[in-house]
Amino acid sequence: MGIPVKSFWLLGFPVALLALEGCQAFPEISQDTSKSISTSNFSGPSNQQLCRLALDRSRPKWDNTRLYRHRVVEALKRGLDEQQCARLSGWFTEQQIAAVPASPKRARANTVRRTDPPASAAEIEIVAYDSDERLCQKAIQQNSPKWETNSIWRKQVLEAKRRGLGEQQCARLVGWFTEQQIAAVHSPKPPAAVPSRKPKVVAKAPPEKPKSPHRKRFSSGSGFFVSKSGHVVTNAHVVNGCSRITVGDNAKTQTRAALVEDDRRNDLALLKLGSLEMASDETKSLIKKLGIKVVPLVAHGLLRLKDVELGERVLVAGFPYGELYSNTIKVTGGMVSAVRGIGDDSAQFQMDAAAQSGNSGGPIYDSYGNIVGVVVAQLNKFKVAKATGSLPENVNFGIKASTVKQFLTTSGLPSKWSTKSKRISTKALAKIAQKQTLMVMCHREPS
């Protein structure tokens, strides 16, 4: 026995009615209604139903979420604008509709053209129902009536140009600037005065200056003493490809150091100061500091046995940006944001303490003066911004102390676990870091 099926649209979704012989699946629907349903031609939701799906329930504006984008496009195809849909939906009063300005109509709202060959498909994917005003708010700089130069907003600038909107038009649409501010930026500059011609004077060519030899290139990072014999821990990437390695209190007082061992997988390296034979004054000064200040710290242990905990306060020491800003050690504070690193790496942890270029290899202290990690990396903000559309802040990583101790043991330099359990002030922590932290410089021969 065949089962007749009758279908129609309800709120934008197909609904099937089954009529079984001798009974009705929906007794509340009369025979006349069933016949009228079966003979009617339902091609989709009504205008009212469509408008209720396309509008934002909280205000008489289009719903901007991706889920209802096709509903907005369908409403525009039918010639319905925001105000018409707001009235059809029955959700808003005339006062509410009049209070919100309607978006300007645009031809072919459902069509998105990609006309800029250098841009990728992802960069020029534009939301078709964005109003000109909203598009300009993304494409114009907030502090100047000019196009946004950040690559994050490149697609909005391209779409504004595709619609025929200029910088001045967009600057007026957003309402952020006065006419004087717009004119000051876009008014044509007077032509430069043409100097009067003077007779040419043939001057003797100045003697060529002898070319100066190529300067030696170098990069810098941080490190810290781990033994009374002059062993220093830093990152492997800090000393990778160096023709010569030096360490010191700053960039001006440096002495040679040798690479003893490195671990590329965990990004750790172990250095050692040169012998006292034929040592320079800088080396002798550094060895003196090692004996007076560092030996007492090493004797009581440096690395903490227990791994960092979520939310724990930490202090980072090092030489960010080398000597660009100043020639002294710098410290910053923060807390542990996660107990694992990138890719769920259990040998690392995440923190929000500021770590810049040059901090790599520097020590991370807890509130008791124990070393709980080594600074290793910061998240690449521009790569993340290109992938997600937003700039991450304060996302930095450290290598756990347990991983560092295992590396030292493997390198033939066993060390004691630190047993400090008395909380000290940040000033006292900074003094400990100042005694122990070094600037590591990697010198490369010119190409």
Q: Which amino acid is at 152?
A: I
CA-CA distances (angstroms) from residue 5 to 2, 8, 18, 35, 44? 9, 10, 5, 12, 18
Q: Are residues 63 and 35 in the same domain?
A: no
Q: Are residues 357 and 234 in the same domain?
A: yes
**Sign of the alpha-carbon torsion through 243, 245, 251, 253:** negative
pTM, two decimals, is: 0.50
Q: Which residue has the tokens 């160096």?
A: 242
293 in Cβ contact with 308 (< 8 Å): no
Q: Give the pLDDT confidence score for residue 66 in this predicted structure.
A: 61
Residues 6+ apart with CB under 8 A from 365: 314, 315, 316, 317, 371, 372, 429, 432, 433
Q: Is residue 231 part of a domain?
A: yes
Q: Are residues 302 and 159 in the same domain?
A: no
Give exposure, 151-176, as e/b (b: 16+ Cβ within 10 Å).
Answer: ebbbbbbbbbbeeebebbebbbbbeb
Q: Are residues 282 and 392 in the same domain?
A: yes
Q: Is residue 324 part of a domain?
A: yes
DSSP-derived secondary structure for 336-402 = EEESS-GGG-TTEEEE-S---TT-TT-EEE-TTS-EEEEEEEE--HHHHHHHHSS---S-EEEEEHH
Q: Is residue 104 part of a domain?
A: no
d(CA 152, CA 138): 10
d(CA 313, CA 291): 30
Rounded to 5°, angle at Cα 371 from 247 and 358: 40
Q: Are residues 317 and 415 in the same domain?
A: yes
The token pair that represents 350 in the structure block: 């995440």
Q: Which residue has the tokens 């009374």?
A: 228
d(CA 318, CA 301): 20
Q: Are residues 62 and 30 in the same domain?
A: no
Q: Give the pLDDT confidence score for residue 368 in this predicted structure.
A: 94
Rounded to the nearest 10 degrees, the angle between the axes of helix 69-77 and helix 47-54 is 140
242 in Cβ contact with 444 (< 8 Å): yes
pLDDT in tens, the chain (447 residues): 444 444 444 444 444 444 433 344 444 444 444 444 443 444 578 888 888 888 887 788 887 766 777 788 888 888 888 888 888 888 888 888 888 776 554 444 333 333 444 444 444 444 445 678 778 878 888 778 888 887 777 888 888 888 888 888 888 888 788 888 888 777 765 666 656 665 665 556 666 665 555 555 788 999 999 988 889 999 999 999 899 999 988 888 888 999 999 999 999 999 998 765 544 565 566 666 655 555 566 667 789 999 999 999 999 999 988 777 777 899 999 999 999 988 889 999 999 998 888 899 999 999 999 999 999 977 766 677 676 777 677 889 999 999 999 999 999 988 888 888 899 999 999 999 998 899 999 998 765
Instruction: Quote the distance between the C-alpha of residue 84 and its chain's center.
Output: 42
Q: Is residue 376 part of a domain?
A: yes
Q: Which of 158, 148, 80 lies closest to 126 in space, CA to CA?
A: 158
Q: Give the pLDDT confidence score for residue 259 in this predicted structure.
A: 93
Q: Are residues 284 and 419 in the same domain?
A: yes
d(CA 54, CA 82): 9
Q: Give the pLDDT confidence score for residue 70 in this predicted structure.
A: 78
**3 state DSSP class of 211:** coil
Q: Are residues 319 and 415 in the same domain?
A: yes
Q: Are residues 235 and 347 in the same domain?
A: yes
Q: Are residues 243 and 150 in the same domain?
A: no
Q: Are residues 71 and 32 in the same domain?
A: no
Q: Which domain holds residue 70?
A: 47-99
Question: How many residues does the structure list for the chain?
Answer: 447
**CATH number of the domain encompassing residue 323:** 2.40.10.120
The token pair that represents 402 in the structure block: 């347990």
Q: Are residues 357 and 424 in the same domain?
A: yes
Q: Is residue 20 part of a domain?
A: yes
CA neighbours closer than 13 Å in the CB half-sphere of residue 436? 32
Q: Which of 370, 378, 374 lies closest to 348 in space, CA to CA?
A: 374
d(CA 223, CA 291): 17
Could you give the number of structural domains in the chain?
Answer: 4
d(CA 370, CA 306): 10
d(CA 426, CA 355): 17
Q: Give the pLDDT confidence score for residue 309 in this predicted structure.
A: 94
**Sign of the alpha-carbon torsion through 412, 416, 417, 423:** negative
**Sign of the alpha-carbon torsion through 368, 369, 375, 381:** positive
